[in-house]
Amino acid sequence: MPDHAPSRFLDPTTPPKVLTLTLLAGISALSMNIFLPSLPSMAAWFDAPYAFMQLSVALYLALSAALQIVIGPISDRFGRRKVVLGALVLFLLATVGVLLAPTAEVFIVFRMAQAVIAAGMVLSRAIVRDMVSDAEAASMIGYVTMGMSLVPMIGPVIGGVLDEIWGWQASFAFLLVSGVLVTILCWRDLGETSTPSGLGLAAQVAQYPRLLASQRFWGYSLSAALASGCFFAYLGGAPFVGTQIFGLTSSQIGALFALTAVGYAVGNFLAGRYSVRMGMNRMVLVGTMVTTLACLLIVLVSVSGLMGPFWFFGLTLFMGLGNGISLPNSNAGILSVRPELAGTASGLGGAIVIGGGAALAALAGAMLTPGATELPLAILMLVTSIGSVIAILWVMRRARQLGLAG
């Protein structure tokens, strides 16, 4: 019998398909937001204050940030495939722990352990950078995250419906099944795309000063952190605004969350289509300005006294649009500063972005006390978005000084 070429699947040396990267990043995003409509009912189930259950968002983001500091260097040392598969297995175990949690405190512990899935977000970007050049990376990241955004777009909708029918546990059961399927897919299709550096973890971490000394790295990271920061503040405060201020149900909040993701998906498409033509920096500037305008309109409508669920949630569609345009390009910018340290840069940049998001989500939860309106949340979102515009203008000024394109 003649020899046959090995199947593309089960070949650990074959670069993955875009679909695999999309679903890998998508399970990370899904874990972040599918249960958000269930926060009020979870607080009732565990007989815990809403502010305490809201820590399941803020602490998850904080641990994600911490993990991303080491995920990048570990993947540079041992390769992307091993780290991704290991993270997926740990995520599945943590999800089982969440489902079996007898108290709110135990739930929070296992919820934090789920943050290991942040490896999916970090390494999907690093794998793209392994495979293509700088300009193509921004475009490909845009397409990957466009597809990825379809997952969290329907996540809160599914989570809200599951919560009303079977309770909050159903959302995490859905996560468990989805995680198993993504693990199987990655085992079959995710070939290694990097050459292990041979350096130990300490030596990898020692590369951080090379990144931290770069003004461009900080500019891209701060732009991404502040642009997405208004979104994380929204994640932390929107369930309260929806239930306590507008009197919406879990399924209604879940459906309205999808508006932001629709805007994000459209923005990702635009990033994928126009990033190579316009350049990373210009696309980041356009995206951050769109987000800032959306946040400004939310504040103005709130101050006018005309705020309702249509205006509050509807305008976040444009916030998502701006983030969808800017974030793929700012992430590609983070990776372009030191291409030989793509995994490390992705992890460290992601830590800055997610760490800032954790702080803003916690701040949003603390600001929205009983009797509060949506205005404090709207102002917080606007201020962080303005900061993202300032950060990318700083990058563009530095790029002109160095004679760089983009």
pLDDT along the chain (406 residues), means of 10: 46 72 85 82 86 81 80 79 92 95 93 90 78 63 63 74 87 94 91 68 70 85 88 81 84 80 84 82 94 95 89 91 89 77 72 77 76 86 94 89 68
What one-character DSSP code corresponds to residue 195?
Answer: -
Contacts of residue 338, defined as CB under 8 A and 6 or more positions apart, other chains included, come to: 207, 210, 211, 214, 217, 344, 345
Rounded to the nearest 10 degrees, how much is the dihedral formed by the CA atoms of 228, 230, 233, 238? -110
Give kind and range of the element (H or E) at residue 140: helix 134-166
Q: How far is it, in rounded angstroms, from Cα 76 to Cα 79?
A: 6
Positive or negative: CA dihedral 75, 273, 150, 223:
positive
In the chain the domains, ranked by start, together with CATH numbers, are 18-190+207-402 (1.20.1250.20)
Burial of 313 from C-beta contacts in 10 A (0-12 / 13-18 / 19+): buried
Q: How far is it, in rounded angstroms, from Cα 394 to Cα 192?
A: 36
Q: Give the CA distances from residue 273 to residues 147, 219, 279, 289, in Å, rounded to whole numbers and listed in that order.
A: 14, 24, 11, 19
What local confidence, expressed as pLDDT, does residue 133 receive? 59
Listed residue (94, 148, 146) closest to 121, CA to CA: 148
At residue 224, the 3 state secondary structure works out as helix
In this prediction the pTM is 0.69
Q: For the chain, what is the largest distance between any 2 Cα atoms, rounded to a whole number of angstroms?
A: 78
What local confidence, expressed as pLDDT, does residue 97 receive? 96
Q: How far is it, in rounded angstroms, from Cα 237 to Cα 51?
A: 10
> Where on the phi/psi map is residue 308: left (φ > 0), alpha (ψ -120 to 50), or beta?
beta
**Six token digits for residue 403:** 């004679």
Taking a C-beta distance cutoff of 8 angstroms, is the pair 86, 393 a contact? no
Q: How far is it, in rounded angstroms, from Cα 93 to Cα 85?
A: 13
**Six token digits for residue 10:** 């089960």
Q: How far is it, in rounded angstroms, from Cα 281 to Cα 268?
A: 15
